[in-house]
Structure 1
Amino acid sequence: MKDSNSKKIKKAGRKDEEKTLVDDILDFVKVFVISAIVVLLFVNFIAHPVNVEGRSMSPTLLNGEYGFTNLISLATGEVNRGDIVVVTMTDDETGKEERWVKRIIALPGETVEAKDGVVYINSEALDESSYLKQDFMDQTLADFKAEYDVDYGPFTSDFGPVTLGEDEYWVMGDNRPHSKDSRYPTVGPVKKDQLYGKGVLVLYPFDKIGVK
């Protein structure tokens, strides 16, 4: 009798262990699935990862910086002049969809142009001193000449005037000599539905953490 009871107890113990293992696996799967759904919702409806490539937004955003752009604020709020935005573009050669980081310069219905290095909005000079510093512009032009053995000219090359449509925005990179943006005929003004995200929260490198 004692051996029979002992065997029953051992069998019950093994079943409990098996049940506990199965429960643990199911709990893990549940947590994994829920976490995956949360990440998908976050990435597709709240924020989306951004990897800065190239030097078109220097010195505001540097090559290799990584972070997130805000999808909600773009969907619920207004886009203002000076905002950094992520724009959906199509590559001329490959036809693939790309996302560029640029700055809003002119808004729908406005007339934008550049003369002698100065950007004008509706014939009034635009103050860009908050994100374009003179020492950076001077150094960039000097580096451009050293790299290509030619003078680039004014930091912002002449263009326009261009009058934007009701849903068009003029975007440019902060590093004008190295930015492909609305100044290029193959790019031009971007439509409202091309604006993908607003602002960039830099998370890496860690010493660059902050909202741009």
Structure 2
Amino acid sequence: MKKMKTSDDWGLFEWALYIAILAFASWFIVTFIGMRTPVIGQSMESTISDGDQLIVTKFSYRLGEPKRYDVVIFPPPSETDKKANYIKRVIGMPGETIQIMGGYVYINGEQLTTDVYGLEPINPLSEGDLAYQPLTLGEDEYFVLGDNRNNSMDSRNPRVGVKTKADLVGKAQVRIFPFDKISKISKESEQ
């Protein structure tokens, strides 16, 4: 004789199915849609600060290309730096020639004057730094800088170097913490 399923059996199955669906949805969102990331350090002051929490959209660069002044997230350059992703701003675009001299960024020989994020002149570079000499970016290469230019490990450092679209985890969209600073991460100017 067959035993009939009781309502307790169905309730347990429904809960297990519900938990499985939530686990899959969570995995899907974190893997393909977006994630929360903490800001560690002062390299993006005064746009974002140490301790801020950001929402990053991972699909941004699956559907489109990075643009100048996007705030992007990418993994640290080495296994020893695994404490957090790096957060920087796209300054140089594919095919452009970048050079930093006299404290300023030059793109294709013209000083970048629309850069409202770097609030002070850049300290002199040394010969080992990228962009000390003119640096021409490849067809899928981006030059990224921290907004706090004199306190940032970014594309100027050969350990970080230029980034490709595949290197970019996503685009920072919104600051969600601290609560009194909830705001969109804006891109105020275009070139």
Please confirm whether the aligned pair reaches a TM-score higher than 0.5, indicating the same fold. Answer: yes
Q: 2:50 aligns with which of 63, 70, 81?
A: 63
What amino acid is aligned across from residue 148 of structure 2 in structure 1? N
Partner residue, 2:122: 155
Question: Any stretches of 5+ residues in structure 2 without a counterpart?
Answer: 126-131, 186-191
- In the TM superposition, residue 128 of structure 1 has moved relative to its aligned partner by 4.3
Structure 1 or 2: more helix by fraction: 1
Structure of higher CA gyration radius? 1
Query: Aligned partners of 1:34 and 1:100: how far apart in 2?
Result: 32
Partner residue, 2:129: none
Do the aligned partners of 2:52 and 2:178 also contact (CA within 8 Å) in 1? yes
Partner residue, 1:85: 72
Do the aligned partners of 1:89 and 1:99 also contact (CA within 8 Å) in 2? yes
Question: Any stretches of 5+ residues in structure 1 without a counterpart?
Answer: 1-17, 138-153
3-state SS of paired residue (2:62)? helix
TM-score (normalizing by structure 1): 0.74
Partner residue, 2:148: 175
Partner residue, 2:188: none
Whether 2:166 is the aligned partner of 1:193: answer: yes
Partner residue, 1:48: 35
When the two chains are superposed, the root-mean-square deviation of aligned CA atoms in Å is 2.4
Do the aligned partners of 1:104 and 1:172 also contact (CA within 8 Å) in 2? yes
Instruction: Tell me: CA distance 1:180–1:39, structure 2 relative to 1, closer, same or farther (3 Å).
Output: same
Query: Aligned partners of 1:176 and 1:51: how far apart in 2?
Result: 20
TM-score (normalizing by structure 2): 0.81
3-state SS of paired residue (1:90)? coil
Query: Aligned partners of 2:73 and 2:99: how far apart in 1?
Result: 22
3-state SS of paired residue (1:59)? coil
Partner residue, 2:86: 100
Whether 2:112 is the aligned partner of 1:114: answer: no
Query: Aligned partners of 1:81 and 1:95: how far apart in 2?
Result: 26
- In the TM superposition, residue 107 of structure 1 has moved relative to its aligned partner by 0.6
Do the aligned partners of 1:50 and 1:200 also contact (CA within 8 Å) in 2? no
Instruction: Tell me: CA distance 1:44–1:129, structure 2 relative to 1, closer, same or farther (3 Å).
Output: same
Do the aligned partners of 1:118 and 1:156 also contact (CA within 8 Å) in 2? no
Do the aligned partners of 1:51 and 1:65 also contact (CA within 8 Å) in 2? yes
Residues 52-102 of structure 1 show CA distances to partners (whole Å, capped at 9, x for unaligned) of 11111111111111122111121111211111111233326x375962111
Do the aligned partners of 2:61 and 2:165 also contact (CA within 8 Å) in 1? no
Do the aligned partners of 2:77 and 2:160 also contact (CA within 8 Å) in 1? no
Identity of aligned residues (%): 37
Residues 177-197 of structure 1 show CA distances to partners (whole Å, capped at 9, x for unaligned) of 110011112222112211110
Query: Aligned partners of 1:96 and 1:65: how far apart in 2?
Result: 18
- In the TM superposition, residue 23 of structure 1 has moved relative to its aligned partner by 3.3
Residues 152-203 of structure 1 show CA distances to partners (whole Å, capped at 9, x for unaligned) of xx43544332111111110010011110011112222112211110123221
